[in-house]
Structure 1
Amino acid sequence: MSKKFTDAETEHYYNTVEIQYQIPWNPDGSKHWGYFDDLNVPDEEEALFRASNRWNEYMLSKSGINADSRVLDIGCGNGHTAVYLANQTQCEVVGIDISQIHVDNAQKQAEKFTQLKLSFVKASATSLPFSNGEFTHIWSQGTLLHIHERELVLEEAHRLLAPEGIFLFDDLVSLHDRPTEDTQNYVYNRLHVSRFISPESYADALRRAGFEVLDSLDLRQHMKKFYDIQSKRFQGDAERSLGYQKTSQAVVNGEIAWWFYLCKKL
């Protein structure tokens, strides 16, 4: 059985792996997977960094965010995506994260961009300190997988969005519900993940929460490519490289997959 990780355990996880993440994911501090324009490009570091940046670009192109938007970034990490959104569109971005270290880092980022409308708050995504209908958009990348009560997050997103507001996010899903022991150890436990649900179950949960699913995208091949590159980048760190190899294999097995959803509040 998968362990149910608490908010405190998730915060501790991110606080303690912060330095490790900055190197294996992206030196600029970004912490999300990558969208490759060509899945056949060589497994090289620069291709991974370009793919990471391209994922921001893809999501922004789907979002409809503009200078009049007020965006909530759930799981803002070190604030780099919030800065990107505000800089590209001149929108206002409010970032929340369970990790105080992330929030502190994001606030330091914001101090470099005083012309942008940025703020960051430490909070749990299951109980957010904002009023109903405050935001035109809610954005999240690689965060909801850490939250056991995922349905509560969807309900909070619906509450906080204005009528016809846009909720766009990516998350990990599973194509079947019986992970191997390797996947339990190297994916669930390593990432502090309690459970995955199927893409169809996710779409159903979104509809129950009051959203219309406008678009979804199967990104599992991009995720596999990402971890294939990571495993080669860190061949000198046997434990980390093995973890990335096992994650890539879990994608091949259908035990995990990466999915994107674009939704509108009804």
Structure 2
Amino acid sequence: MRQNRPSEFDESRFQEIIEYYDATRFDYRVAWLSRDNPSIHFGFYGQGADKHAAALENTNRVLAGLAGLSAGCRVLDAGCGNGGSCLWLARHLQAEAVGITPVSSQVEEARRLALLHGLAERVEFRQADYCQAPFESESFDCVWACESLCHAPEKKAFYREAFRLLKPGGRLVAAEYVRARRPLPPGGERLLLSWLNRWAIPDIDTPEEHAAHARSAGFQEISLRDYTAHTWVSLKNLHKIARRWLWADYVLYGLGIRSKAQHHNIIGSIRQFQALNQGLWFYAVLTARKPAGGKG
């Protein structure tokens, strides 16, 4: 049965995420973004992508390939950030791309970039909750989530909503941080959470938990692949940048020039790589398909 979800959006439920991304916009702009690629995700190295900007673009190319996207498809980017993936999909696949994020400043920036690149007719950006999206059931050929599912307090709710939104036969593709197991040893759990909580991430799930959520929602052909080797250079680069900024960050934070959220972003970036080196988590790509006869 098709249904329309309410379009009202309550920012109060997303204050931590909104404050984090608003506070760290400058950091991302200086350390990560390029003029031609506004994506704030990690880069997939290899396949000819050996530089930062090329690796960021390659992430989109790899995810689109794994999802089996074709020209003219309709894609929902669930947690679109500044709209980088939507713009890539519209430019390279002539896709109709819809991006949603709870962060209004990201919506504004994504719309500005769409106009700048002449893609405003092919993309749409809205402030919305990807676990309760304001779209009719069976509206999209693909639901795309690049390092955004982690912010959901209840991952199961994301999978249910993605299933509802997909047309029969539609595909889900999600690039995500995945914990190695649950529970971790106490010291490992503390280290993992000291990264996650500084990035406004409540927790991350295990491979088994992701697969169980997807199956429970109704998905088939569920695959979760380890892509850490492809993102290692990108992850290490962020760690290097954070270490380089650390001393200045402590000084500026102590002087009240940098905020707590900005300070936490630097510390979290260091903790992330430490947790990776200890085998507490890995970078994965999950794909799944809604059955051709499935109803959302």
TM-score for the superposition, normalised by structure 1: 0.87
Corresponding position of 2:259: none
* Equivalent pair of 2:130/2:161 in contact (CA under 8 Å): yes
- 1:30 alignment partner, SS class: coil
- d(CA) in 1 for partners of 2:147 and 2:96? 21
- d(CA) in 1 for partners of 2:281 and 2:170? 29
In the alignment, structure 1 residue 218 sits paired with structure 2 residue 226 = yes
- d(CA) in 1 for partners of 2:266 and 2:112? 31
CA deviations on 1:59-101 (whole Å, 9 max, x unpaired) are 1122222233111111111112111101111121111011000
CA pair 106-242 structure 1, distance change in 2 beyond 3 A: closer
* Equivalent pair of 2:227/2:285 in contact (CA under 8 Å): yes
CA pair 115-152 structure 1, distance change in 2 beyond 3 A: closer
Letter in 1 for 2:157: L
- Shift of the alpha carbon at 1:6? 4.5
Letter in 2 for 1:203: A
* Equivalent pair of 2:198/2:267 in contact (CA under 8 Å): no
- d(CA) in 1 for partners of 2:221 and 2:168? 15
- d(CA) in 2 for partners of 1:62 and 1:217? 11
Corresponding position of 2:144: 139
CA pair 199-114 structure 1, distance change in 2 beyond 3 A: closer
- 2:46 alignment partner, SS class: coil
Runs of 4+ in 1 over 6 A off after TM superposition: none
- Shift of the alpha carbon at 1:34? 1.6
- 2:27 alignment partner, SS class: helix
CA pair 47-242 structure 1, distance change in 2 beyond 3 A: farther
Alignment of 1:225-264 (within 5 A): 225-238=233-246, 243-264=268-289
2:26 to 14, 19, 22: 19
Alpha-carbon RMSD: 2.2
CA pair 220-114 structure 1, distance change in 2 beyond 3 A: closer
With 92-101 and 170-179 compared, the bigger mean Cα shift is at 170-179
Corresponding position of 2:255: none
Letter in 2 for 1:73: D
How many residue pairs match? The answer is 255
Alignment of 1:13-162 (within 5 A): 13-27=20-34, 28-37=37-46, 47-112=51-116, 113-114=118-119, 116-162=121-167
Segments of structure 1 that go 5 or more residues without pairing to the other structure are none
- Shift of the alpha carbon at 1:218? 0.2
- d(CA) in 1 for partners of 2:267 and 2:155? 29
Letter in 2 for 1:20: D
CA pair 108-237 structure 1, distance change in 2 beyond 3 A: same
Letter in 2 for 1:261: L
CA deviations on 1:175-226 (whole Å, 9 max, x unpaired) are 12333433322x1221111111111221111111111134332022344432
Identity of aligned residues (%): 25
- d(CA) in 2 for partners of 1:74 and 1:189? 21
Corresponding position of 1:165: 170
- d(CA) in 1 for partners of 2:141 and 2:239? 39
* Equivalent pair of 1:158/1:209 in contact (CA under 8 Å): yes
Corresponding position of 1:197: 205
Segments of structure 2 that go 5 or more residues without pairing to the other structure are 1-11, 250-264, 292-296
- d(CA) in 1 for partners of 2:53 and 2:179? 26
CA pair 84-116 structure 1, distance change in 2 beyond 3 A: farther
With 74-83 and 111-120 compared, the bigger mean Cα shift is at 111-120
- Shift of the alpha carbon at 1:264? 0.5
- 2:161 alignment partner, SS class: helix
- Shift of the alpha carbon at 1:115? 6.7
With 21-30 and 89-98 compared, the bigger mean Cα shift is at 21-30
